[in-house]
């Protein structure tokens, strides 16, 4: 009887958690719809929603496809909005993965040095040709991850805290390298600086499709390993008792997060703190279950970056990376002091 009561309580708790998750997801989708209307209809040239709906129709006549309104909606505003949502979702999923696999709330692509490696590689690619930015960013992200892992291993700190500390060190070194590249960039300085500050102003249909494909791929991989992430986040010993191959899991998910981050950085530059702020806020609202956390963080991250990009555009095309840094910097300080306070108890 007692065992049946416990099972009933557990089933009731899981049902409540699913309902809460579905309500939160519905709210995020509703907000995303509202932001989509705002971002696509407003700008230097306001276009009414009925006109936008007609221009986005698959049956739009060929005579209207070449109109200025169609170009603005279909080739400028829609790709930019989709790029913002896809990039925000990708970075947040990467943040959830890194925080879960390392069991460290401060882990994200930027604190681990992955983004700094992608930025250094991409900036180096600018010196050769714009076509080298993407492959160099990939190589830089993977090289940075390898270097962070090596430093953590050599220092005897392969856990989450050791990797984060090594990531901070590597980020500092790579940031110095980026500064050197900017100093010798001559006429290439302008594009490099704009790219490094993070901007979605150059979003195109291809970049939108690429970040969405990468974001959904990482989300799918992490979803498959969701239960194992739950076990690892509770501690290495418990994960081992549950039969989780933590080494294999860490390799798969770390490299997946690194590649996704490299793709986002190569297209849009440094857009920091999104992958740190959003997963924490979503976790506070929905709980630690990684499968729900991954989906909701993707939606919330896309919403945050779409809103931030809208604000940046309305502030004389300010780089969106500046907006996210202004939001995330104070949050990071609060989180760091909170973790120290909890550790002292």
In this predicted structure, which of 101-110, 237-246, 336-345 has the lowest mean pLDDT?
A: 336-345
> Given this model, what pLDDT does residue 118 score?
84
Q: Return the minimum-mean-pLDDT range out of 9-23, 86-100, 123-137, 322-336.
A: 9-23
- Residue 92 burial by CB count (10 A; 0-12/13-18/19+): exposed, middle or buried? buried
- Give the pLDDT of residue 156: 66
Structure tokens given for 202 = 């150059």
pLDDT at 341: 54
Q: What is the 3-state secondary structure (H, E, C) of 211-238?
A: HHHHHHHHHHHHHHCHHHHHHHHCCHHH
Q: Is the pLDDT of residue 155 over 70?
A: yes
Mean pLDDT value across the chain: 82
- pLDDT single digits (tens) 319-334: 898 888 887 778 777 7
CA quadruple 203, 207, 208, 209: dihedral, nearest 10: 160
Taking 80 as the threshold, does the pLDDT of residue 186 lie above it? no
Decide which of 248 and 31 is more confident.
Answer: 31
pLDDT tens digits, one per residue of 299-317: 999 999 999 999 998 888 8
C-alpha to C-alpha distance for 179 and 191, rounded to whole angstroms: 14
Most confident option among 107-121, 166-180, 182-196? 166-180
Range with lowest mean pLDDT among 13-22, 56-65, 294-303, 323-332:
13-22
Write out the two tokens for 257.
């997060």
Burial degree of 80 (CB within 10 A; 0-12, 13-18, 19+): buried
What pLDDT shows up at residue 94? 92
Closest CA to 147 of 181, 175, 174: 174
Measured from the Cβ of residue 270, the count of other Cβ atoms closer than 10 Å reads: 23
What's the pLDDT tens digit per position in 70-120? 888 888 999 999 999 999 999 999 999 988 888 777 777 877 888 888 888
Cβ atoms of 78 and 56 closer than 8 Å: yes
Residue 263 pLDDT > 70? yes
CB-side exposure of 334: number of CA atoms within 13 Å? 10
CA angle, 33 then 37 then 41, to 5°: 165
């Amino acid at each position: 009887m007692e065992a049946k009561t416990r099972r009933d309580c557990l089933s009731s708790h899981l049902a409540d958690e699913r309902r809460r998750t579905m309500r939160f997801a519905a709210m995020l989708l509703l907000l995303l719809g509202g932001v989509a209307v705002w971002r696509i209809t407003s700008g230097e040239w306001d276009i009414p929603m009925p006109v936008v709906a007609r221009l986005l129709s698959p049956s739009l006549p060929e005579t209207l496809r070449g109109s200025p309104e169609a170009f603005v909606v279909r080739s400028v505003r829609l790709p930019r909005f989709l790029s913002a949502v896809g990039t925000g979702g990708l970075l947040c999923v990467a943040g959830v993965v890194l925080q879960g696999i390392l069991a460290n709330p401060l882990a994200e692509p930027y604190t681990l040095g992955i983004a700094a490696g992608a930025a250094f590689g991409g900036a180096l690619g600018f010196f050769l040709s714009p076509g080298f930015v993407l492959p160099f960013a990939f190589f830089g992200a993977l090289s940075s991850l390898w270097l962070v892992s090596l430093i953590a291993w050599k220092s005897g700190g392969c856990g989450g805290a050791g990797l984060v500390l090594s990531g901070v060190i590597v980020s500092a070194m790579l940031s110095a390298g980026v500064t050197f590249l900017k100093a010798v960039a001559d006429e290439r300085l302008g594009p490099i600086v704009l790219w490094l500050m993070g901007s979605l102003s150059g979003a195109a249909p291809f970049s939108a499709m690429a970040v969405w494909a990468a974001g959904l791929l990482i989300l799918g991989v992490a979803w498959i390993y969701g239960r194992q992430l739950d076990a690892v986040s509770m501690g290495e010993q418990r994960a081992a008792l549950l039969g989780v191959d933590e080494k294999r899991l860490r390799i798969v998910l770390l490299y997946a997060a690194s590649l996704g981050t490299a793709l986002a950085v190569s297209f849009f530059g440094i857009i920091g703190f999104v992958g740190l702020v959003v997963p924490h806020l979503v976790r506070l609202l929905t709980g630690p279950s990684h499968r729900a956390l991954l989906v909701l963080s993707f939606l919330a991250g896309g919403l945050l970056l779409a809103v931030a990009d809208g604000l940046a555009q309305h502030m004389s095309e300010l780089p969106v990376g500046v907006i996210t840094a202004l939001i995330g910097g104070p949050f990071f300080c609060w989180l760091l002091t909170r973790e120290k306070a909890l550790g002292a108890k």
